[in-house]
Amino acid sequence: MGAWFSSNWIDVALIAGVALVAALAVWVMIRSRKAGKAPCGCSCSGCGGACASCPMGCHAAGKK
């Protein structure tokens, strides 16, 4: 195991780094979704119904 790890430590570090970045991106998306923010930056609580193409559908449902 030690010989394999010493010859492949760069690959292991790169895969761990990519996995960490992907997990961080998913975590940020979940947090913003729970906060009521759409991916486009539109916030249902703060836009007052001005953005007609809200991807969260909050204006069509009458939520603000």
Say if CB 41 and CB 35 are below 8 A apart. no
φ, ψ at 3 (rounded to 5°): -70, -40
Q: Which residue has the tokens 């559908």?
A: 57
Measured between alpha carbons, how far is residue 53 from residues 36, 42, 50 in Å? Answer: 15, 10, 9
User: Which 8-state DSSP code applies to residue 58?
Assistant: T
Cβ neighbours, 10 Å, residue 57: 10
How high is the pLDDT of residue 44? Answer: 60
pTM across the whole model: 0.56
**Total tally of structural domains belonging to the chain:** 1
Predicted confidence (pLDDT) at residue 60 exceeds the cutoff of 80:
no
Q: Which residues constitute the domain of residue 16?
A: 1-64
2-33 residue pLDDT tens = 899 899 999 999 999 999 999 999 999 889 88
